[in-house]
Amino acid sequence: MAINVGDRIPEATLMKMTDKGPAPVKTGEFFKGRKVVVFALPGAFTPTCSNQHLPGFIKSSGDIKGKGVDEIVCLSVNDAFVMDAWGKQQGAGGDVTMLGDGNGDFTKALGLDFDGSGFGMGTRSLRYSMLVDDGVVKSLNKEPNPGEAKVSGAETMLQQLS
């Protein structure tokens, strides 16, 4: 069953690249007492993700954070090495935090996974964005068309934060 507005974020461990290598990020600790925008996508370096979704959030990061958001997270079922390389290639810098859900555990716990094995991709994340406030989902925007980043894009999130 998919997570809904009003639900608490499940406990899971994501991975973030640091100067010392990949480091665990415990969701319970990460979301506690903070307002975080999370947007997830099927895969790093894929066309819609690289041309629309991530660039939109990078471009709008100042406006989003100006609305009281503590952090913006890009999440994908990729490892921390891939997410780090993609973030550098896209210029995410300190604007968007790149987190990997390499085994898809968090994505599956959210109920927002899909089987991409027909495309050689295995289990992947649906395209979505959500606002999480102190570990509780306040808005959830699931993209109906995986080849677009409109419903789940930065502009939608900005409108919801106004």
Structure tokens at 100: 């990997």
Cβ-contact 132, 31 below 8 angstroms: yes
How far apart, in whole angstroms, are the C-alpha atoms of residue 53 and residue 31? 22
Q: Taking the CB of residue 31, how many other CB atoms lie within 10 A of it?
A: 23
Helix (H) or strand (E) holding 97: strand 97-100
Positions marked catalytic:
49
Residue 152 one-letter amino acid:
S
Determine the straight-line distance between the first and last CA of the chain, rounded to whole angstroms. Answer: 29
